[in-house]
Chains A and B, each alone.
Chain A
């Protein structure tokens, strides 16, 4: 629980002056993501840079240091009946908010309540020149300057070291209930999307093992009334089930032998024709696949489904693991990277080999 931003700044400046690279590490729970970290780069530990800077429950705004563990944040919010509505996957007790934003990881409620990217209001960032900059703010509406805060989501630390993050937080739903029923994979896409198009308090829709799970949450009366109208059995351990989904602890995700692919696609797209094991989440917009394969073979399938694919865990992590970028966007992203980190200090090659 300390402010070590001065120390972090010194380390960045030292790296720049010495011509070194830095791998940014928070809790270290997402080391398996992205491409293999540069073995020649030093480590910049942000984990100690933690603690809540400001929290005004009535404002629905929280500002924390980037190394703050998600568990600390959730505990502080819970005291006021609030929560992070993007349901961050807690990939380990050490998982931090900085890593969550850098990897843009959000849980099952994401299509309805928004992602971590959606909830971020501002960041403080150390760029590659060792400048400690502030973007966005602590208010919900702010259109002054480019949205550098949301740009950090999914950039995997390639643009700088986040030191402070301001987020929108929301009240915890008063009640929730999960409905489960058997359904074949070829029916479930239509079913989940039709339910999502109804003005009902739905906050989860996934399919695994031949069953579809729908979560309702909000005012108790609304949850109960909707549950009565919709088909499916009430799942007694509903909360437990969704926590497993949120934290990627469901048995589908177990084991490291078989690569885990993430298809982020149009919610109504037909499922890619790949034999094997699927977990469909986000009412069809996020589809997990377990199986061996090459990224180049997966990409046309993802594109046909209106989206992209990444090799989330396992497999060859020395090659590219993210959907390839068209040349024009590659050029822009290289230049954006260069504008923040001209000496290419931060997380070299972690997102793409060319970044």
Chain B
């Protein structure tokens, strides 16, 4: 729903300045510039204005004013998102939660942390470390990304198979509704009566409410973690080995796979001693008590050998463990070194389809004339193809998008989904029409309206307007048949 705002920029700014420090009501384009995009910088838009409230009451007043005048509101944390979910609306307000950056309370006995939404993900674990606790979900942007954004995106990381996503690690969320009410969904307990609105809020990409406080669960830090690295001469063997470990009843803390392009790039960058000739590399981290880890590491090594590993190496010290992870953790910047630009995709597939999907991706790579490297959260099926391109070559970004779109379609086709952890935002809004029917999308719109009757929260993101879906589907279908756009030949 997009209705024209009924207030001018100047009037809006004046109203905000009556209760918010005028320095924090930004209207000039130079100061607003850093807000024009999130981590997916190909998608930019300048907002009407940016506001940085400092209290929940100020957030409420902003929402009431915007709701009254039908002004779009885009809530923003650190802006590290990768789907343009925090891209501004040109007629709307960017509501930055950057001032809400305090850790309010850590309760070591209850194993909880009460946080303002602008607290950085990594800062939670750093603060909790003194009690032997940590916060589970660890998206790769964890140095910078904030917990409010993590709630909005239902962020994951490398430990999801064992420790879950954001939705599994929350007690409660305090939020300001589109109409300006403050409500708490969830509680200090493990469930509440009535509908699970906390689940609905988590991953809702700022379309249902503005998060103003979060209470998260903390976990006891495992006594020990060790990682086994195994190289394979085929993706199929590597994929089968993952299944082998799980069939053995082992749930690794982290289980990552890289393809040959990623292995070489990461090893060049991190000098981690990866088997450079391998077609697939697995990093399998087991954590828990000393006894459990010893038992499971021995079993994992055996399984990898049984499934044809060409090399197996187990970390014997914390330094060695850190080194083996360093390559994987720097895979994105490493790939960045071998190409002027890269585009990180995010789809999920049933693990058994891995070899098939990678093979078809290789074929597409040739058709589109673009290289692709793959890193894969193998434990939970979340694939991150990195498409390499050069934005200075006319048409190459468009071709990259088409390639990415074909990959997502493939994910849906094999029984997976279009986004595992990055969210839909603007980026994947077309592919929503591939994964969902019109009735399903309409149900999403109706849920949205239940929270936000005027449709002011992050409009144009997450769920496509039905009138465009038919067009999207035919477009997607065309790409699916591997008909690269004209630019691919040019």
Residues of A within 8 A of B (CB): 56-61, 80-81, 104, 110-111, 114-115, 117-118, 127, 131, 133-135, 137-148, 150-151, 153-155, 158-159, 170-172, 174, 190, 193-194, 196-201, 218-222, 224-226, 264-269, 282, 285-286, 305-308, 310, 322-323, 325-326, 328-329, 332-333, 335-336, 338-340, 351-352
Q: Is the CB of A143 within 8 A of B439?
A: no
Docked CA distance A267–B111 (Å) = 9
The residue that A264 contacts in the complex, of B189, B208, B292, with Cβ under 8 A, is B189
Q: Is the CB of B443 within 8 A of A174?
A: no
The residue that B291 contacts in the complex, of A61, A221, A307, A352, with Cβ under 8 A, is A221
Set of chain B residues within 8 Å of A226, measured between Cβ atoms: 289
Docked CA distance A127–B249 (Å) = 38
Chain A min CB distance to B303 (Å): 12
Judged by a CB distance under 8 angstroms, whether B466 is at the interface is no
Q: Is the CB of A219 within 8 A of B447?
A: no
Residue among B189, B251, B381 having the largest count of chain A Cβ atoms under 10 Å: B189
Judged by a CB distance under 8 angstroms, whether B393 is at the interface is no
Q: Which of B122-177 contact A (CB under 8 A)?
A: 131-133, 153-154, 156, 160-161, 164-165, 167-168, 177
Q: Is the CB of B188 within 8 A of A146?
A: no
Residue among A142, A158, A322, A336 having the largest count of chain B Cβ atoms under 10 Å: A142
Q: Is the CB of A153 within 8 A of B192?
A: no
Residue among B292, B381, B428 having the largest count of chain A Cβ atoms under 10 Å: B292
Docked CA distance A306–B189 (Å) = 7
Q: Is the CB of B249 within 8 A of A171?
A: yes
Judged by a CB distance under 8 angstroms, whether B418 is at the interface is yes
Judged by a CB distance under 8 angstroms, whether B446 is at the interface is yes
Q: Given A131-B439, A141-B381, check contact A323 B192 (CB 8 Å).
A: yes
Cβ contacts A to B, 29 pairs, < 8 Å: A57-B247, A59-B352, A115-B190, A133-B440, A140-B381, A140-B382, A143-B203, A147-B199, A147-B203, A148-B200, A148-B443, A154-B195, A155-B194, A171-B246, A197-B132, A218-B292, A219-B288, A219-B291, A225-B291, A266-B187, A267-B110, A268-B107, A310-B193, A322-B193, A328-B183, A333-B194, A336-B200, A338-B450, A339-B449
Judged by a CB distance under 8 angstroms, whether B196 is at the interface is yes
Q: Is the CB of B194 within 8 A of A201?
A: no
Other 10 A-B pairs with CB < 8 A, given A196-B220, A329-B197, A338-B450: A111-B190, A143-B421, A144-B435, A147-B154, A197-B133, A198-B220, A264-B190, A266-B189, A329-B185, A336-B447
Chain A min CB distance to B244 (Å): 8
Q: Is the CB of B450 within 8 A of A135?
A: no
Contact with A along B204-231 (1 / 0, CB 8 A): 1000100000000000111100000000
Q: Is the CB of B289 within 8 A of A225?
A: yes
Chain A min CB distance to B434 (Å): 10
Chain A min CB distance to B66 (Å): 17
Set of chain A residues within 8 Å of B450, measured between Cβ atoms: 332, 335-336, 338-339
Judged by a CB distance under 8 angstroms, whether B419 is at the interface is yes
Chain B min CB distance to A197 (Å): 6
The residue that B110 contacts in the complex, of A56, A268, A351, with Cβ under 8 A, is A268
Q: Is the CB of A146 within 8 A of B447?
A: yes
Docked CA distance A315–B346 (Å) = 51
Q: Which 8 A-B pairs have the closest CB atoms?
A: A306-B188, A266-B188, A307-B189, A150-B199, A335-B450, A339-B446, A141-B420, A171-B249
Chain A min CB distance to B353 (Å): 10
Judged by a CB distance under 8 angstroms, whether B395 is at the interface is no
Docked CA distance A325–B196 (Å) = 12
Q: Is the CB of B246 within 8 A of A193?
A: no
Set of chain A residues within 8 Å of B369, measured between Cβ atoms: none
Q: Is the CB of A339 within 8 A of B443?
A: yes
Q: Is the CB of B167 within 8 A of A171?
A: no
Docked CA distance A194–B132 (Å) = 12
Set of chain B residues within 8 Å of A323, measured between Cβ atoms: 192-194
Docked CA distance A137–B171 (Å) = 24
Q: Is the CB of B350 within 8 A of A170?
A: no
Set of chain A residues within 8 Å of B254, measured between Cβ atoms: none
Chain A min CB distance to B107 (Å): 7
Q: Is the CB of A307 within 8 A of B188?
A: yes
Judged by a CB distance under 8 angstroms, whether B484 is at the interface is no
Set of chain A residues within 8 Å of B192, measured between Cβ atoms: 154, 264, 307-308, 323
Set of chain A residues within 8 Å of B185, measured between Cβ atoms: 329
The residue that B449 contacts in the complex, of A154, A307, A335, with Cβ under 8 A, is A335
Set of chain B residues within 8 Å of A197, measured between Cβ atoms: 108-109, 111, 131-133, 220
Nearest chain-A residue to B462 (Cβ)? A145
Docked CA distance A285–B9 (Å) = 49
Docked CA distance A12–B220 (Å) = 48
Set of chain A residues within 8 Å of B132, measured between Cβ atoms: 197, 199
Docked CA distance A322–B288 (Å) = 38
Nearest chain-A residue to B382 (Cβ)? A141
Judged by a CB distance under 8 angstroms, whether B409 is at the interface is no
Judged by a CB distance under 8 angstroms, whether B19 is at the interface is no
Q: Which of B300-359 contact A (CB under 8 A)?
A: 348-352
Nearest chain-A residue to B432 (Cβ)? A144
Judged by a CB distance under 8 angstroms, whether B117 is at the interface is no
Nearest chain-B residue to A338 (Cβ)? B450
Set of chain A residues within 8 Å of B107, measured between Cβ atoms: 268
Q: Which of B235-285 contact A (CB under 8 A)?
A: 243, 246-247, 249-251
The residue that B165 contacts in the complex, of A134, A141, A221, A267, with Cβ under 8 A, is A141
Q: Is the CB of A154 within 8 A of B160?
A: no
Chain A min CB distance to B183 (Å): 5
Q: Which of B402-441 contact A (CB under 8 A)?
A: 415-424, 428, 432, 435-437, 439-440
Judged by a CB distance under 8 angstroms, whether B181 is at the interface is yes
Chain B min CB distance to A1 (Å): 23
Docked CA distance A180–B395 (Å) = 69
Set of chain B residues within 8 Å of A141, measured between Cβ atoms: 156, 160, 165, 348, 377, 380-382, 420-421
Q: Is the CB of B440 within 8 A of A135?
A: yes
Q: Given A133-B437, A154-B193, A308-B189, check contact A199 B222 (CB 8 Å).
A: yes
Judged by a CB distance under 8 angstroms, whether B463 is at the interface is yes
Judged by a CB distance under 8 angstroms, whether B191 is at the interface is yes
Judged by a CB distance under 8 angstroms, whether B451 is at the interface is yes
Docked CA distance A144–B382 (Å) = 13
Nearest chain-B residue to A285 (Cβ)? B190
Q: Is the CB of A306 within 8 A of B187?
A: yes
Docked CA distance A80–B246 (Å) = 11
Judged by a CB distance under 8 angstroms, whether B295 is at the interface is yes
Q: Given A329-B197, A352-B194, check contact A143 B249 (CB 8 Å).
A: no
Docked CA distance A135–B436 (Å) = 8
Chain A min CB distance to B426 (Å): 14
Q: Is the CB of A286 within 8 A of B190?
A: yes
Q: Is the CB of A142 within 8 A of B348?
A: yes
Docked CA distance A335–B448 (Å) = 10
Q: Is the CB of B199 within 8 A of A117?
A: yes
Judged by a CB distance under 8 angstroms, whether B233 is at the interface is no
Docked CA distance A221–B286 (Å) = 15
Q: Given A114-B168, A139-B417, A198-B220, check contact A332 B292 (CB 8 Å).
A: no
Q: Which of B80-113 contact A (CB under 8 A)?
A: 107-111
Q: Is the CB of A58 within 8 A of B194?
A: no
Chain B min CB distance to A336 (Å): 4
Set of chain B residues within 8 Å of A111, measured between Cβ atoms: 190
Residue among A225, A333, A339 having the largest count of chain B Cβ atoms under 10 Å: A339
Set of chain A residues within 8 Å of B400, measured between Cβ atoms: none
Docked CA distance A8–B296 (Å) = 47
Docked CA distance A329–B192 (Å) = 12
Chain A min CB distance to B307 (Å): 12
